[in-house]
Amino acid sequence: MSGSQTRHVALITGSTSGIGLGIARALAASGRDIMLSGFGEAAAIDALRHEIETEHGVRCLYRFADLADPLACRALVAETESRLGRLDILVNNAGIQHVDSVPDFPIEKWDHVIAVNLSAVFHCSAAALPGMIARDFGRIVNIASAHGLVASVNKSAYVAAKHGVVGLTKVMALENAQRPLTVNAVCPGWVLTPLVQRQIEARAEAGGLSVEAATAQLLGEKQPAGRFVTPEQLGAFVVFLCSEAAATLTGAALPVDGGWTAQ
């Protein structure tokens, strides 16, 4: 592909930091125009947007959306199509976390986690699919989690949502199996994102540990490799899923987890 009129366009939710930013950078490096969406200071986001455009020679725009709001999810997709002309690749990455036992889990926290981590995947995908079908090409990549395949205590909403993302991925893949349109779920293990860093710091404080000791403890409990998955690795994997080489890879839940779910 060459030229902005034919270049594929990718929307990545939760893409101003962490996994989403790693994926956005990788897709930009592969020649896709980018719509960023996520939290952050306006000046920092504008600098990031300019950096991606300058480094990779692509268009990179930004729009904030409250992904807990179904209409905002759909408006985000509509604005991407309006401002960038099309939407070929949707990466549903945004996620939030709350940790509590089931009896103590606040109702509003449950609803918010399910809305952002699961319902937003449905609403963004439902809005993106008609254009993909009309253009006879599409890639939807849902960033689930190792917790979409296995469970951990005190993460009922997150685990339920991520299991739901894996199931939704399979349904959308089957509905579009006859088309050049794939839908897959990537299931990362521990990635050192701001979300995970907060969990490490909470663990350190609760256990009277150093951050380094809490990090080693976290990895040792779940991830046999003993090291974090990186946003760059996940970005490269998503680029592969968007390539012609992955044209018949659909409906899969793909662990990138240092052996977590092999146990």
Backbone angles phi, psi at 236, to 5 degrees: -65, -35
Is 158 a residue of the active site?
A: yes
Write b or e for each residue in 157-189: b if 16 or more Cβ atoms lie within 10 A of its Cβ, otherwise e.
bbbbbbbbbbebbbebbeebeeeebbbbbbbbb
With a CB cutoff of 8 Å and minimum separation 6, the contacts of 111 are none
What are the tokens at 218?
Answer: 């976290």
Q: Taking every pair of C-alpha atoms in the chain, what is the biggest distance, in angstroms?
A: 56
Among residues 40, 89, 86, which one has the least CA distance to residue 63? Answer: 40
Pairwise CA distance, residues 118 & 33, whole Å: 25
For residue 182, CA distances in Å to 70, 121, 179, 201 come to 23, 15, 8, 38
Among residues 8, 182, 11, which one has the least CA distance to residue 93? Answer: 11
Other CB atoms within 10 Å distance of the CB of residue 77? 23
**Set 158, 228, 237, 260: catalytic member:** 158
Among residues 178, 166, 83, 181, which one has the least CA distance to residue 129? Answer: 181
Please list the active-site residues.
158
